[in-house]
Structure 1
Amino acid sequence: MFTIDDLADRLGGYLPADEICQVKRAFYYAEQAHDGQRRRSGEPYVTHPLAVANILANMHMDYQSLMAAMLHDVIEDTGVSKEALIKQFGNEVAELVDGVSKLTQITFEDKAVAQAENFQKMVLAMSRDIRVIIVKLADRLHNMRTLGALRPDKKRRIARETLEIYARIASRLGINTIRVELEDLSFQAIHPMRAERIQRAVVKARGNRRSMVRHVQSTLQKCLDDEGLPGTVIGRQKHLLSIYHKMRDQRKSFSELMDVFGFRIITDRVDTCYRILGAVHNLYKPVPGRFKDYIAIPKANGYQSLHTTLFGMNGIPIEVQIRTREMEAMANNGIAAHWLYKAGQTDRPIAMGSHARAREWVRGLLEMQRHAGNPLEFIEHVKNDLFPDDIYVFTPKGDIMELPHGATAVDFAYTVHTDIGNSCIACRIDRHLASLSTPLESGQTVEIITAPGARPSLGWLSFVVTAKARSAVRHYLKHQQRSDSVQLGRRLLNKSLDAFDARLETLPEGRMEALLEEMALDGEDDLFDAIGLGNKVAYSVARRLVFTDTAAAAEEPTSNTTGPIAISGADSMMISFARCCHPLPGDPIAGHMSVGKGIVVHRSDCRNIDDCRSDPEKCFPLEWSNTIEGDFPVALRLEIETRRGLVAELASLVTDAEANIERIGIEERDARLSIINLILAVKDRIHLARIIKRIRNLHHVSKITRVKN
């Protein structure tokens, strides 16, 4: 069994003696705290923190991280407090331990919420010290290695959580060794039979092609030696989950995947990497379009390497990765390489850069956490942010921005800054005007056009792909909806108070406060918000504000009617226009309160509000404002003789009249006559009348009507 002395011997290779003593002291403290506790497997509990520390030792983590690994469960599982840890080991180690500890004090209704809350706490701890997540990943890795003692259903739940969150975080931070093992262990727990069959096939295939791999490896090594290029060629193995995903997603057989040979060439300097690339391209013909330069443009997690695919002997594909020793350390240990070089007192830019990128990512997570409506929404954003297929685009100043595959100009705008995203109205891609929803491609230069009064649109959520953009748009819309509903609720309540010859400003002192207390609301804005959303009726609230006793409240108001509320096309998010009757400026209109949506505007003669027309709490008069903005949909029905080119002629006519066709449907009544159903976007009734007049002048139009319901 692995002991603390074995670990101390390993740590002697890179830590000074006094720091190793601190790690041993933390172990003995944890051993005493966990005395009598055992794991499900029957082993003493202290074997778990010792194993976690051993995983971190493989990554050459600093002594404080190793101490936190030893102590990471003492707050949660024993009677030791954070204050006791501060007294024994100092504030920094105690903060690391607290960051890794789970939220067991809170009882959650469901495990998804518990996990989301736990992850939020971890993000906050990461923002103070990124080592928290590295210790947490090592903790999860050892737990995955020892899943055998758990029930199958619990194994699968933990494995899915590991795949969805922890393996992806390891990838995002570039810790490839932990990511690969977490993925394979999760795969084995979720699909044990599939994993076993693929594992057997891999072992068999590896034995069958061992001589071929040795031959290619020696050929590549001889090529480097002949050219005088320093470098070591090693075989690269695919892991189980990667093989499974490629078989499933690319619909390839196992033999097709194993026919691709993978090799890695490790060298001394960056310029040697490019010289080796030229040598192997001279040895074997490269596959067009399969070269990627991650040295010039590193991945977001700091990964750097040259990737190329070659046609080997008999046309067998050979995948080659070329990198320096520092890049190899970064590929395997990611951000942990920052502490590896720190321990060696070597300031390596590649490791420092990875640390800076990780800090930037955590800052982005914190911003998403502030914007998210609840922990589960936050988890959804984080999942979307992890594991993207990256593209690289340029700002007008030539800076490189990394975005996930399928990202649009709106994603780009929010990546630059949230305020730019919130105020963007258009974009230029390679100096040409383009739609904000246009998917970007690598190498393009993107310029965002902003306007002071612009604001995000609900439609953006249908095409943005980055978590930051989605989170920021949702946050803005929620805030805007709240603002609009409060404003609308205030207007509705004041209109209702008019019927009682009262105003909000003239209510007796304490009347509003008493009603808010009775309704268990925190403030006036909460009341206005509820009225604006249709969750409370303005008329009833007004009556309760004016009258204090039930008998008086039952009396009729001094005037039965209030003046209509004036609306314009761009009033707020809480005013929408009914699709059944398509009201236009100039039409007589009425409002219907829809719970959760606010006011829905109908034509006054719309049949759909007949049932509530007599109820002033649900239906009330509206009028159009003097300043109306925007286009409004309207439905038209045309009876027309069937002939070639009819739709094109109709579309041209509507465009010339400065209107848009939003939808068109054609149904044949008989061989001679067709019915055309149009949805047009027009400004008002006058604009519509002008369009109808033009359509009537078309030959073969026998009838045109506006559809009311």
Structure 2
Amino acid sequence: MNTADITADDLIALVRAYNPKTNENQIRLAYEYGQQMHEGQFRHSGEPYFTHPVSVAAILTEQQLDDATIITALLHDTIEDTKASYSSVDEKFGHDVAELVDGVTKLTNLQLNSNETKQAENFRKLFMAMSKDLRVILVKLADRLHNMRTIKSMRPDKQIQKARETMDIYAPLAGRMGMQWMREELEDLAFRVLNPEGRQSIIRRFITLQRETGDVIQRITGDMRHELEKAGIEAEVFGRAKKPYSIWRKMQEKQQSFSRLSDIYGFRVITTSEDECYRALGTIHRRWRAVPGRFKDYISQPKTNGYRSIHTTVSGRDGKRVEVQIRTRQMHDVAESGVAAHWSYRDGVRSRNPFAVDPVKWVAQLTEQLDSEEDHEDFLEAVKLEMYADQVFCFTPKGEVVKLPRGATPIDFAYAIHTRIGSACVGAKIDGMRVPLWTRVKNGQSIEIITAQGQTPQATWLDIATTGKAKTAIRRSLRELDRARFVSLGRELARSAFEQMNKSATEKVLRTAARNLRLSSAEELLAQLGSAELTGQEVVQAVYPNLRPKPGEHVDRKRAVVGLEAGQSFDRSPCCQALPGERIVGITFRGQGVKIHTIDCERLSHYEDQPERWLDLRWHDGPHPAIYGATLDLTIGNGAGVLGRICTLIGQSSANIADLEFLDRKPDFYRLLIYVELRDIAHLHSLIPMLEAESEVAEISRYRNPDLFKAGTKDA
């Protein structure tokens, strides 16, 4: 049936097919109300807008959902896009439906593809909406599915934005909820937009393969049915080729060509009981050779979303591998609907599927860890790791089961048991054998964690750990270990910054700066200053917003360069960071003024064939203020107080440290970049020998990077 032609009677018939006791009057009323509210509105395709909510409702009938969810689908855009209000929906359809429609409206307004800080906060709101009523997410997923099915009518840039959002957020969320069919369709629809050539190449290769080998699916399905009938097992067998995106992803992960990819077909065996599942497994393994390491028993160890099935991969005489999933009809219903199976109806009553999970408990379990994340970056990482997780099940030495995402290591296992165990970890044994901490754990392995008193997390563990819980705990410990060092360094930077303004960095001044910057304490301010999250200038401005370096007879920054035309503005290019006193040229940019380069800047080679854009410039004679940044590349000894002494020397030379970045930390040496604000090239030439004389400075040079020009301009 064409969803654009679905009438109220058609929709009611779809619901009545699985729920004869449906409230037909309410569904008809919702249909008519939604149609009335959206009157005169049209989609990008030119169709009446109401065809969209009707199509969303039809998608949800395929999951046999309750009346409230179907009515919500019909009304899900009314509060946002029409004159309908929460109170009017509440009055006509009840509080339950009004809350659901309001929840979908709020989700629609979330910009999940925005910058990371805002994205993390929106993810929190998304999970809050899920925790109130998971049906809100079911409607939103069906809404996104229909929008992706009809995406061709949108502008190309909008198509790409929606496809990326679908691939990053909605598809993995559907998979995490156990709705694998929806995840696969969403991924493939997004793949069609993001990489049409890649998708077409997969389809062409499939056609070629079918021409060469015939209908492999029909042949293997027939063989499986024959073997199961011989064994007296009553079962249905279905086969299918995997979706183009699924195959593309396998090719990327395994770095294999299509011709070398083996398991591109999947088969499902639906039996009448759990016992028959294991009998069917034995029958299939007797007929075809099992592939080692490709067996998973999700019946004895179900996924958190209720998924139960036996997975095995077998190969035939021709060496072609096929994946086989074996489960009962009830398990299959949960595998198709996932968490949504909780609301499924059969014959007018809520279907009592023993394998369907309680959505409230599922969301609580999912959000428990995510709520513990302290900062936005950690939360966002934890969400994405959790949503993409494909679980493995490992055992403690006492036989307790620990669930981890695929690719997890013993470090993740240790932190999953307890943060204290993870932090004290010095080694691990898998099935009794000592293994490196970066080893990837596999299903069914027994893992023993070896701990030692006094052990603390290592920075290298961040590259080994995969779970959000482990990464967050490691970062927190490393921050605590670094905090004392950062506070000490921050105190030196603060003293230097305030002395530049003839002020003192007293405790009272630091507390005032912390309060104005909305930080919890002066110590927190110093820690952020020492870790380069804040600059000395920002701290000074927090206390003395109107305080600026006294200009005296200094050359004004706006007229520091001679040779510009009237009204032309200039910026120093970050690739070479030209200083007063150096020979310079300017390159003109339409709408961006002039970019200043030193005469020996490597970047200038890019403009050799455009002489009309070159300007012959020079710095204004006279003293300049210490506001022109240059970056120093230092390698220094990792000793107590070394960095503090260097900061003091820079301050004593009347230069200001504006930024600081660690490039490499070794047990004996640090390599870092220090962005200092100077008067001119002579100021730089006097500063470098002063720092070279420091015994713990192994190397020092002026840092220049021609590639930085692409990243933008750091204003002088």
Q: Taking structure 1 as the reference length, what is the TM-score of the superposition?
A: 0.68
User: What letter is aligned with 2:395?
Assistant: F
Q: Is the contact between residue 298 and residue 304 of structure 1 (CA under 8 Å) also seen in structure 2?
A: yes
Q: 2: distance between equivalents of 1:122 and 1:707?
A: 51
| 2:393 alignment partner in structure 1 | 392
| 2:202 alignment partner in structure 1 | 198
From the superposition, tell whether residues 145 and 584 of structure 1 become closer, same or farther in structure 2 (CA, over 3 Å). Answer: closer
After the TM superposition, which of the residue ranges 106-115 and 184-193 deviates more from structure 2?
106-115
Q: 2: distance between equivalents of 1:384 and 1:188?
A: 25
After the TM superposition, which of the residue ranges 225-234 and 139-148 deviates more from structure 2?
225-234
Q: Is the contact between residue 266 and residue 328 of structure 1 (CA under 8 Å) also seen in structure 2?
A: yes
Residue 139 (structure 1) shift = 0.7
Q: Equivalent residues in 2 for 1:99-138 (5 A)?
A: 99-102=103-106, 118-138=122-142
From the superposition, tell whether residues 161 and 475 of structure 1 become closer, same or farther in structure 2 (CA, over 3 Å). Answer: farther
Residue 22 (structure 1) shift = 2.8
Q: Is the contact between residue 485 and residue 529 of structure 1 (CA under 8 Å) also seen in structure 2?
A: no
The count of aligned residue pairs is 572
User: In structure 1, which of residues 363, 386, 392 is the aligned counterpart of residue 368 of structure 2?
Assistant: 363
Q: 2: distance between equivalents of 1:55 and 1:390?
A: 28
Residue 286 (structure 1) shift = 3.1
Q: Is the contact between residue 134 and residue 336 of structure 1 (CA under 8 Å) also seen in structure 2?
A: yes
| 1:237 alignment partner in structure 2 | 241
User: In structure 1, which of residues 351, 358, 381 is the aligned counterpart of residue 356 of structure 2?
Assistant: 351
SS of the aligned residue for 1:44 comes to coil
SS of the aligned residue for 1:234 comes to strand
SS of the aligned residue for 2:355 comes to helix
Residue 438 (structure 1) shift = 5.2
Q: 2: distance between equivalents of 1:264 and 1:537?
A: 65
After the TM superposition, which of the residue ranges 338-347 and 185-194 deviates more from structure 2?
338-347
Residue 206 (structure 1) shift = 4.5
Alignment gaps of 5+ in structure 2: 550-632, 658-664, 672-694, 700-716
| 2:154 alignment partner in structure 1 | 150
Q: Does 1:373 align with 2:412?
A: no
Q: Does 1:525 align with 2:535?
A: no
Q: Is the contact between residue 233 and residue 280 of structure 2 (CA under 8 Å) also seen in structure 1?
A: yes
From the superposition, tell whether residues 90 and 118 of structure 1 become closer, same or farther in structure 2 (CA, over 3 Å). Answer: farther
Q: Is the contact between residue 427 and residue 449 of structure 1 (CA under 8 Å) also seen in structure 2?
A: yes
| 1:444 alignment partner in structure 2 | 446
User: What letter is aligned with 1:445?
Assistant: I
Q: Taking structure 2 as the reference length, what is the TM-score of the superposition?
A: 0.67
After the TM superposition, which of the residue ranges 265-274 and 248-257 deviates more from structure 2?
248-257
1:21-48 Cα shifts (integer Å, max 9, x gaps): 3333332222222222111111121111
User: In structure 1, which of residues 24, 29, 44 is the aligned counterpart of residue 33 of structure 2?
Assistant: 29
Q: Is the contact between residue 301 and residue 358 of structure 1 (CA under 8 Å) also seen in structure 2?
A: no
Residue 223 (structure 1) shift = 2.0
User: What letter is aligned with 1:349?
Assistant: P
| 1:404 alignment partner in structure 2 | 405
| 1:466 alignment partner in structure 2 | 467
Q: Is the contact between residue 301 and residue 334 of structure 1 (CA under 8 Å) also seen in structure 2?
A: yes
Q: Does 1:49 align with 2:88?
A: no
User: In structure 2, which of residues 147, 166, 169 is the aligned counterpart of residue 165 of structure 1?
Assistant: 169
Q: 1: distance between equivalents of 2:359 and 2:112?
A: 36
From the superposition, tell whether residues 32 and 301 of structure 1 become closer, same or farther in structure 2 (CA, over 3 Å). Answer: same
From the superposition, tell whether residues 181 and 76 of structure 1 become closer, same or farther in structure 2 (CA, over 3 Å). Answer: same
Q: 1: distance between equivalents of 2:440 and 2:465?
A: 9
Residue 612 (structure 1) shift = 3.4
| 1:690 alignment partner in structure 2 | none
| 1:335 alignment partner in structure 2 | 339
Q: Equivalent residues in 2 for 1:244-255 (5 A)?
A: 244-250=248-254, 252-254=256-258
Residue 415 (structure 1) shift = 3.1
User: What letter is aligned with 2:43?
Assistant: R
User: What letter is aligned with 1:61?
Assistant: L
Residue 215 (structure 1) shift = 3.8
| 2:189 alignment partner in structure 1 | 185
From the superposition, tell whether residues 25 and 224 of structure 1 become closer, same or farther in structure 2 (CA, over 3 Å). Answer: same
Q: Is the contact between residue 75 and residue 101 of structure 1 (CA under 8 Å) also seen in structure 2?
A: yes
From the superposition, tell whether residues 330 and 634 of structure 1 become closer, same or farther in structure 2 (CA, over 3 Å). Answer: closer
User: In structure 2, which of residues 301, 317, 323 is the aligned counterpart of residue 297 of structure 1?
Assistant: 301
| 1:654 alignment partner in structure 2 | none
Alignment gaps of 5+ in structure 1: 506-510, 551-577, 591-599, 619-630, 636-661, 664-704
Q: 1: distance between equivalents of 2:507 and 2:697?
A: 41
Residue 56 (structure 1) shift = 0.9
Q: Is the contact between residue 210 and residue 216 of structure 2 (CA under 8 Å) also seen in structure 1?
A: no
User: What letter is aligned with 2:44?
Assistant: R
Q: 1: distance between equivalents of 2:415 and 2:17?
A: 45
| 1:688 alignment partner in structure 2 | none
Q: Is the contact between residue 178 and residue 307 of structure 2 (CA under 8 Å) also seen in structure 1?
A: yes
Bigger Rg, structure 1 or 2: 1
Residue 59 (structure 1) shift = 0.7
Q: Does 1:96 align with 2:92?
A: no
Q: Is the contact between residue 299 and residue 308 of structure 2 (CA under 8 Å) also seen in structure 1?
A: yes
Residue 532 (structure 1) shift = 6.3
Identity %: 37
User: What letter is aligned with 1:582?
Assistant: G
| 1:415 alignment partner in structure 2 | 416
Residue 50 (structure 1) shift = 1.1
Residue 71 (structure 1) shift = 1.8
Q: Is the contact between residue 409 and residue 448 of structure 1 (CA under 8 Å) also seen in structure 2?
A: no
Q: 2: distance between equivalents of 1:281 and 1:110?
A: 49
Residue 58 (structure 1) shift = 0.2
From the superposition, tell whether residues 75 and 414 of structure 1 become closer, same or farther in structure 2 (CA, over 3 Å). Answer: farther
SS of the aligned residue for 1:101 comes to helix
Q: Does 1:174 align with 2:178?
A: yes
Residue 145 (structure 1) shift = 0.6
Q: Equivalent residues in 2 for 1:269-280 (5 A)?
A: 269-280=273-284
Residue 185 (structure 1) shift = 1.1
